[in-house]
Structure 1
Amino acid sequence: MKQKAPFLITLFSIFLGVFIAILFAVNEDLFKKQIANGLLENAKVIEMSQSSAPEMQEKKASYIKAESEKNWRYYQRFHFHSTGIAAMSLGILLVISLLSAPKLQVLIASYMVAVGGFLYPFVWLFAGIYGPSMGRSAAKESFALFGYMGGVFLVGVAFSIYLVARYPLRDFLKNESLSL
């Protein structure tokens, strides 16, 4: 099971990325309403609302429009990163599973690629959820741990490159079984 877990994690990441895309298609307004409601709680928007000056109201409307678009983009980034990184991860996992490298090294690289690739996109999802009310920078900083998982993924990719360069593929013509 410990050899299969990285594959399951990666496939689940693909599932989540596709699932949110389906949610976008079915009810995009749900996400956009959540963003709009969150912006009403945003300290900067509340501060702008306290002024009745027409130029401040124009500035507020412009700010809300720009922030809405940027926060909506974060939801899209979750989808793009979840599916894209998972597709890369699946390819990497398949390649390194075919190597004659020590199993522990393959297992470590597999978990780094799978877990890092799975968790990294959540920085964008949580920034999309909490960014409107907290502010985009504050939301990204609050969930920076997920962003750091991109580094874990990258180190796993680098380790996988090392393994591919260092060890040959297993010789399947000698009846060596393929164990995932």
Structure 2
Amino acid sequence: MEFFERNIRSCRWGLLLAVFTIFCGFALGGVFGANEAALKGQLKSDGQAVLSSVYKGDQKKMDKTISKSWSYLKRAHLHAGAIGAAVVGLLLLLAFLPTNAVFKLIISWMLGLGTLGYSLFWLLAGFSAPAIGGTHEAKEALEWLAIPSAGMLLIGTLAVFLLLLSACFTRKRYY
């Protein structure tokens, strides 16, 4: 047990963030399933409030934005579960790869924050799009969250891959 605890400790923060993200994804699914009509109604209400000023009275454009916003909310739910689970797997692998604890800690934080941030990006984009006039506008307004989150996920995943590659093809013995 001590071996497991020693190896997992340096990845604990990323694991906690990833499992929390998975929980949030499941919770979103429950909320969406129980309140779909109310949520869609709120999106429509947000769009109606700015129909003349933001959409210039274009009902079709507003309806398209609301429909796509609902898709973004579902995307947040799916990304939280899927990317969160992938990150848990990557971090469990990382915990046992031969590298120093500080490097593991940095990668762990990157992957944990990346999965939470990227899922949150889709959720915020979905909720904000009707009021600001479109999903494109919402994504642009939230690129401050999307770009670093996606970047952390990509860099963290690449780091785990390179460490795994090194562990698989070097002759060093780490046990």
The match for 2:136 is: 137
Structure 1 runs not aligned, ≥5 long: 49-59, 172-180
Q: In the alignment, does 2:102 pair up with 1:104?
A: yes
**Contact kept in structure 1, 2:115 and 2:153, CA below 8 Å:** yes
Aligned length: 159
Q: Secondary structure at the match of 2:83?
A: helix
Structure 1 length-normalised TM: 0.81
Counterpart pick for 1:21 among 29, 36, 44: 29
**Paired position in structure 1 for 2:157:** 157
CA distance in 2, matches of 1:93, 1:2: 10
CA RMSD, 1 decimal: 1.8
Pick from 37, 57, 82 the counterpart of residue 45 of structure 2. 37
Q: Aligned-pair distance for 1:112?
A: 1.1
SS of the aligned residue for 1:167 comes to: helix
The two structures have a TM-score, normalised by structure 2, of: 0.83
Q: Which runs of 5+ in 2 are unaligned?
A: 1-8
Percent identity over the alignment is: 26
CA distances 1:27-64 after superposition (whole Å, capped 9, x unpaired) = 1112101110111133343x22xxxxxxxxxxx34333
Deviations 1:72-122 (A, max 9, x none): 101011011111110100000000101122112222211111111111111
- For 1:119-138, what aligned pairs fall within 5 Å after superposition? 119-135=117-133, 136-138=135-137
Contact 2:10 2:102 survives alignment (8 Å): no
Task: Please report how far the alpha carbon of residue 2 of structure 1 lies from its aligned counterpart in structure 2 after TM superposition.
Answer: 5.8
Partner amino acid for 1:116?
A: G
